[in-house]
Copies of this chain bind each other. A is one copy, B any other.
Amino acid sequence: MNMPGRIEERQVQQIIDIAGKENTFVQQSQIDDYTHDMADYSATPGLVVRPSSEREVAEIVRVANETGTPILPRGAGSSLTGAAVIEGGIIMDLRRMASVTRVDTVNWYVQVQPGISLEDLNKELKTHGFFFPPDPASSYICTVGGAIAEGSGGLRCVRYGTMKDWVLALRVVLPSGQVVKFGEALSKNRAGYDLVHLMVGSEGTLGIITEAWLKIIPIPSVRTKRFLVTFDNWETTGEVIKRLRSSRILPHLFEFLDRDNVLALNEKLEMHMDEAEATLLVDVEDSEVQTVEDIFRQCGAVKITLARDEEEADAFYQARSMAYLAVKATASGVQVEDVCLPIDKLADYLKMVKQVAAKYGLKIPVNGHAGDGNVHPLILYEKSDEKSRDSANLAYEEICRWAISMGGSVTGEHGVGLQKPKFMREQLEAHDGREALRIMKEIKKIFDPYNIMNPGKYVEIA
């Protein structure tokens, strides 16, 4: 008898025959690395397989299909929402498929397998004088496939947009095991509805990405300077952005850290940053340096530091990109918030977060991409303390609901996974999107009628 979702012995053997014994993990010690994501959502898969080709991916999907066994495609597992863990079923680790197939410097695209990290992709592109802009803080490990599936953002989004702005075409293994190409590796293509963008941000629920054609651009010849600027209050951040925008300056980077982040970086990673209320990291072009410095001053900057060389500029960047890990090390539990708001609501947003923290007696350090209204409150709690956990949840809900009421989104770049289906629903309902949710659920059924792709999450349970 077939048990839905169960992996039978004979199937394990079939998968071993396809991918090899050394790439098929069933023992606890082998699958330990796959039992959690970067925000500590945890679940134990029944089997982990590491295919080396699209053909293997398709064959494994067909084996899983026989018993309706759930499948979760996974890269580095750096998701923050539970999208990359699953209880039982098959995790398909795609990191062995990590080749750069083609760098086309005339048509400005790269053809690439899903398992390469964004950092390694950019190392390869650099040798051609090109780069791929989206840069989640996890770029050093997160894979192309994961970043597409999550529709990831990052530090350079403020200027270059998110993953959705950079994907031209995809090869996908559908839940049926059939292989399909969506889109074309062309700058313009109008042949049919846009299925490429349906895949971007689909969180592994519609199919498994086996190849991607991504836009690339030459490394900009324009020279930029990096500022580290401190303020004695965080409300000013919103004002700085507004003034930059009204001066028509679009920074290459506009990042925010509050005091708690800096304290964590100094304590946990032995950095030596000034412990100001607000720290901004801002990249602008050489020709804009003076204007921007004036704006900082007018807004009451305490200290304005222009990175003197690339090394110092890198150190500033590291501070921002390591902030999450530093803060995470200061408490046993953390809920990461990912609200995106109209930029002019940013000051009110930061104020609200601090009020919520005070109300529940929690620490909520905030960092993130202030330049596009997407900052991350990190709600800290004690895992072993039920009251603390409950408070964190209540604080989380309050922040999400406030954002929804202000016309914001509960997720700018982290996605939904297990963490936000409820709030996604509330957002859609509040913003006239009730029918949108119905359509999304129907779309899931078209792609995955037997619901084997990363089930029990996201749209399905919203």
A-to-B contact residues, CB < 8 Å? 104-108, 129, 150-151, 153, 157-158, 161-162, 164-165, 171, 174, 178-182, 184-198, 200-202, 206, 217-218, 221, 242, 245-246, 248, 250, 338, 340-344, 369, 372-374, 407-416, 420, 424, 427-428, 431-437, 439-440, 442-444, 446-447, 459, 462
Contacts and interface: CB of A to CB of B under 8 A. Distances in A.
Contacts of A372: 187-188
B197 A201 contact: no
26 contacts: A105-B246, A107-B344, A107-B373, A108-B245, A151-B194, A157-B188, A165-B165, A180-B439, A184-B408, A186-B409, A188-B369, A188-B409, A190-B201, A190-B338, A190-B413, A190-B415, A191-B409, A191-B410, A191-B427, A192-B440, A193-B444, A197-B197, A198-B198, A439-B446, A439-B447, A446-B446
A42 B343 CA distance: 47
The 5 closest A-B pairs by CB, nearest first: A197-B197, A188-B412, A180-B435, A218-B248, A181-B432
Contact of A187 (B157, B181, B185): B157
Nearest to A241: B106
Contact of A193 (B105, B201, B242, B340): B201
Q: How many copies does the complex hold?
A: 2
Nearest to A442: B446
Contact of A189 (B158, B171, B340): B340
B408 A186 contact: yes
Instruction: Tell which of A157, A162, A185, A439 has the most Cβ of chain B within 10 Å.
Output: A439
Given A178-B435, A440-B193, A186 B416 contact: no
Instruction: Tell which of A105, A186, A414, A416 has the most Cβ of chain B within 10 Å.
Output: A186
A209 to B, nearest CB: 14
A242 B106 contact: yes
A186 B436 contact: no
Instruction: Tell which of A161, A189, A250 has the most Cβ of chain B within 10 Å.
Output: A189
Given A193-B440, A344-B106, A435-B174, A184 B409 contact: yes
Given A195-B439, A200-B194, A443-B443, A180 B433 contact: yes
A199 to B, nearest CB: 9
A187 B373 contact: yes
A79 to B, nearest CB: 12
Instruction: Tell which of A192, A221, A437 has the most Cβ of chain B within 10 Å.
Output: A192
Contact of A185 (B178, B338, B342): B342
B193 A443 contact: yes
A428 B192 contact: yes
Contact of A412 (B185, B189, B197, B432): B189
Contact of A195 (B338, B434, B436): B436
A188 B201 contact: no
A16 B290 CA distance: 61
B191 A424 contact: yes
A416 B459 contact: no
Contact of A129 (B188, B248, B369): B248
A88 B183 CA distance: 34
Contacts of A189: 340, 409, 411-412
A215 to B, nearest CB: 9
Contacts of A187: 157-158, 161, 340, 372-374
Contacts of A196: 197
Nearest to A105: B246
A181 B435 CA distance: 8
Nearest to A182: B436
